[in-house]
Structure 1
Amino acid sequence: MTFNDRIFGVLMIVLAVAYGWAATQFPEPFGGAESVGPDTFPKLLAVVLALSSLYLIVRPDPDNAWPWNRTGIELIIAVVVLLLYALLLQPLGFIISTTLAVGTLCWRMGAPPMNAYITGAVSGVVVYFLFSFALDLALPLGLLSFLEMN
């Protein structure tokens, strides 16, 4: 079933190109083209994804069958959760979206629902404060915008 790996590799190369192109659309950083800006990390991820995808195309796993059982369904659920996360990030804000996404993924991996969503909430708050205060990067607050400090 090397065909599955090759199809996946081609799809991931398309994603890498789209992701890399989107990173080039970010505004020019203040320090000029030589400084590290908001596009540096996405461009690096796009290159790593493209190289990994090429490896999948050239050297696919010879014994890789698509999981059409429960594992396949869980993978589809995870992709849907991540797509919804991306769509809801701006309107709901980082903390609420992250709570829902991480909580749902933890729950699907077997954690009790209460523990899963507590983990999601703690993750959302910790990462929000890390980005906002330690890295000085703004994340959307969405519904919690009343908490913004001016």
Structure 2
Amino acid sequence: MSTMNDRIFGILLIALAVAYGWGATQLPAPFGGSEAVGPETFPLLLSVVLVLSSLYLIVRPDPDNAWPWSRTGVELVIAVVVLVCYAALLQPLGFILSTTLAVGTLCWRMGSAPLRAFVTGALAGVAVFLLFNFALDLALPMGVLSFLEVS
């Protein structure tokens, strides 16, 4: 019966991946529309990775998969709540602040000291922001830090 849980979960994840991939194709095309990499590229790649991972879960389920309804289960629920909040706060707070909060909270929940966790989150947020904005030329939301934007 334990392998059936993995298979059901894999099927649900495939449905999520298909919905996510379809949603990515609905993103508006950039002006001109001739770019090879558009706003749908990264979400489509994520959905493909999720489908492949889900297929592996269906084909090769873990024979001994006990559900972690102890402290680990609680931490998993907290992680999901943090990620949902991250998605909700991304636009109003901006990428750097919301990433700082999300990564910092997750690092702290994994045992890091709070100051070190949130410094790590801030460094990750700034590094990824700079990578996307300047190396990949993909704009991320600035949110409340929009006064820092260079015109």
Provide the C-alpha distance between the structure 2 equivalents of 1:117 and 1:28, rounded to a whole number of angstroms.
Answer: 35
- Give runs of aligned pairs for residues 79-118 of structure 1, distance below 5 A: 79-118=80-119
The alignment covers a number of residue pairs equal to: 149
In structure 1, the residue matched to 2:140 is 139
Long gaps (5+) in structure 1: none
1:59 corresponds in structure 2 to 60
The residue identity in structure 1 corresponding to 2:93 is: L
Letter paired with 2:72: T
Within 2, Cα distance between the matches of 1:67 and 1:53? 20
Conservation of the 8 A alpha-carbon contact between 1:4 and 1:66:
no
After superposition, what is the alpha-carbon deviation per residue over 1:2-37, rounded to whole angstroms, capped at 9, x for unaligned?
A: 13212221221121011110111123353548x333
The runs of 4+ residues in structure 1 deviating greater than 4 Å are none
Q: Deviations over 1:39-60 (max 9, x none)?
A: 2332222122112212212331
Residue 149 (structure 2) aligns with: 148
The corresponding residue for 2:72 is: 71
What SS is found at the alignment partner of 2:111?
A: coil
CA distance in 1, matches of 2:135, 2:34: 23
**Which amino acid in the other structure matches residue 118 of structure 1?**
V
Shift of 1:66: 0.6
* Unaligned runs of at least 5 residues, structure 2: none
> For 2:57 and 2:73, how far apart are their aligned partners in 1?
19
TM-score (norm 2): 0.91
* Alignment correspondent of 1:21: 22
**Matches of 2:34 and 2:126, distance apart in 1:** 32
- Provide the alpha-carbon RMSD of the alignment: 1.6
Higher deviation after alignment, 73-82 or 51-60: 51-60
Shift of residue 126 of structure 1? Answer: 1.3
**TM-score scaled by length of structure 1:** 0.91
Question: Which is worse superposed, 99-108 or 14-23?
Answer: 14-23
Percentage identity across paired residues of the two chains: 74
